[in-house]
């Protein structure tokens, strides 16, 4: 009996270790796997050419990722500008000014909305945002636009990020000790002064992290953006012109990537680029969160 117990203990222990080690090795495996597939293109071109060249002619073997990186950055920044202040103020209202009941109702709702698949946000974007941009917003600025544009991509991304960032911000604000708030109020500060000088200041690392992780999420989002952004190769300053972010490039061309030489390795390079950028952003901002959680 004892032997069976000991052996099963050993076996389960190995199984547990294997599971954990596999998970911890996963980021390395992903990095190595993608690098392995992207190696032909990294070997054949200089990294500066790949990242900063605007020449994208896969048929001629020219792969400049600048237009894609530009579009990705454009929609991400746009999404951030649109959603970050909104989320910050909404989180302040829900945790500081609003009734406690409202927060209790909203928390599960936000949680559930964060789980809605991105393709549904994409459907909404096609139904609402694209026509709205084409018919109302673009004419307002005297521009003609099909609606499938960087602006639409940014708006849809912003809406997708709202539940995600709001959730994190509420968590950050809830960890601030009540005593601190009371101390500030007892010195005669108004509610808003308390928010300004205590909540924002004390929660600053958390707020920064929530924003950072929101950016990372927006940067890597694929399907919803792909559906509304137009997917045209172009570097344009106007938000009403179409763009072509990195994830959309990968998703759109998987069908034909085997038929053109080096094309598959170019797409894997795009995936590697996304992976590295997002992993770095994540590791950086998660570090903040973990530092604050430990205290």
Partner 1 sequence: MRTWKVWEQQLARGISFLAAYSVIFILLFLLFVVFSKGLKALSWETIFSLPKGGYYFGGEGGILNAIVGSFYLSVGATILAVIIGVPAALFINVQLIRLKRTQNTIRYLLDALWGIPSIVYGAFGFTLMLLLGLHASLLAGIITVALLITPILVRAFDEVLKTIPVELQEASFSLGSTKTETALRVIFKQGLAGFITALLLAFGRGIGDAASVLFTAGYTDNIPVTLDEPVATLPLSIFFQLSSPIEEVRERAYAAAVVLTFFILLISVSARFLSKRYAKNIIK
Question: Which of 39, 64, 191, 200 touches partner 1 (CB under 8 A)?
Answer: 191
- Examine residue 206 and tell whether it contacts partner 1 (CB under 8 A): no
Asked if 17 interacts with partner 1 (CB under 8 A), we say yes
Range 199-207, long-range pairs (CB < 8 A, 24+ positions): 199/92, 199/96, 199/173, 202/176, 203/172, 203/173, 203/175, 203/176, 205/288, 205/289, 205/291, 205/292, 206/168, 206/169, 206/171, 206/172, 206/175, 206/288, 206/289, 206/292, 207/88, 207/169, 207/172
With respect to partner 1, which residue has the nearer C-beta, 150 or 248? 248
Would you say 20 or 260 has its CB closer to partner 1? Answer: 20
Stretch that binds partner 1, among 42-50, 53-61, 146-154, 249-257 (CB under 8 A): 249-257
Nearer to partner 1, 118 or 241 (CB): 118
Site for partner 1 in 146-165 (CB under 8 A): 159, 162-163
Binding window for partner 1 (CB under 8 A); candidates: 49-57, 136-144, 178-186, 267-275: 267-275
Question: Of 112, 174, 182, 201, which one interacts with partner 1 (CB under 8 A)?
Answer: 112
Determine, following the binding rule CB under 8 A, whether residue 3 of this chain makes contact with partner 1: no
Which two three-digit tokens encode residue 68? 């894609």
* Residues between 39 and 98 that touch partner 1 (CB under 8 A): 85-90, 92-94, 96-98
Q: Which of 1, 3, 24, 237 binds partner 1 (CB under 8 A)?
A: 24
In whole angstroms, the minimum distance from the beta carbon of 126 to partner 1 comes to 6
| Alpha-carbon separation of residue 265 from 36, 39, 40, 253, 254 (angstroms) | 9, 7, 7, 12, 11
> How many Cα neighbours within 13 Å face the side chain of 254?
6
Burial class (CB in 10 A: 0-12, 13-18, 19+), 146: middle
Using the rule CB under 8 A, give the single segment among 15-23, 45-53, 136-144, 197-205 that binds partner 1.
Answer: 15-23
Q: Segment near partner 1 (CB under 8 A), from 28-36, 41-49, 136-144, 199-207? A: 28-36
Nearer to partner 1, 91 or 138 (CB): 91
When asked if residue 136 is in the footprint of partner 1 (CB under 8 A), the reply is no
- Cβ of 245: how many Cβ atoms within 10 Å? 32
Q: Identify residues 273-292 at the interface with partner 1 (CB under 8 A).
A: 274-275, 278-279, 281-283, 286-287, 289-290
Binding residue (CB under 8 A) for partner 1 from 63, 65, 74, 124 = 124
166 scored as a contact of partner 1 (CB under 8 A)? yes
Q: Which of 77, 106, 233, 235 binds partner 1 (CB under 8 A)?
A: 106
Number of residues forming the site for partner 1 (CB under 8 A): 93
Rounded to whole angstroms, the Cα distance separating 168 from 170 reads 5
Assigned token pair, 125: 């974007």
Q: Is the four-CA dihedral 231, 236, 239, 241 of positive or negative sign?
A: negative
Measured CA to CA, the distance from residue 32 to residue 268 in angstroms comes to 11
Question: What residues contact 153, with CB distance under 8 A and at least 6 apart?
Answer: 75, 78, 79, 225, 228, 229, 243, 245
234 binds partner 1 (CB under 8 A): no
In this structure, what token pair is assigned to residue 101?
């009941």
């Amino acid at each position: 009996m004892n032997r069976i117990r000991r052996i099963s203990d050993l076996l389960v222990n190995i199984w547990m270790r294997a599971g954990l080690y596999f998970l911890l090795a996963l980021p390395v495996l992903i990095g190595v796997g993608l690098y392995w597939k992207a190696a032909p293109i990294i070997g054949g071109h200089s990294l500066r050419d790949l990242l900063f060249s605007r020449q994208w002619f896969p048929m001629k073997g020219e792969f400049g990722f600048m237009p894609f990186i530009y579009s990705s950055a454009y929609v991400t920044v746009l999404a951030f500008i649109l959603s970050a202040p909104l989320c910050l103020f909404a989180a302040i209202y829900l945790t500081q000014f609003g009734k406690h009941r409202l927060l209790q109702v909203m928390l599960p709702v936000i949680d559930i909305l964060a789980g809605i698949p991105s393709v549904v946000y994409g459907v909404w974007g096609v139904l609402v945002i694209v026509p709205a941009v084409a018919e109302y917003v673009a004419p307002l600025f005297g521009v003609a636009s099909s609606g499938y544009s960087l602006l639409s991509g940014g708006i849809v991304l912003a809406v997708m990020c709202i539940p995600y960032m709001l959730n994190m911000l509420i968590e950050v604000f809830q960890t601030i000790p009540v005593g601190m708030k009371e101390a500030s109020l007892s010195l005669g500060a108004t509610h808003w002064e308390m928010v300004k000088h205590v909540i924002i200041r004390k929660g600053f690392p958390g707020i920064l992290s929530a924003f950072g992780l929101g950016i990372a999420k927006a940067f890597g989002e694929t399907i919803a953006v792909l559906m509304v952004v137009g997917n045209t190769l172009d570097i344009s300053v106007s938000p009403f012109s179409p763009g072509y972010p990195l994830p959309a490039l990968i998703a759109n061309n998987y069908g034909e990537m085997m038929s053109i030489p080096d094309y598959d390795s170019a797409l894997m390079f795009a995936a590697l680029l996304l992976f590295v950028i997002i992993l770095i952003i994540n590791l950086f901002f998660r570090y903040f969160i973990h530092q604050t959680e430990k205290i």
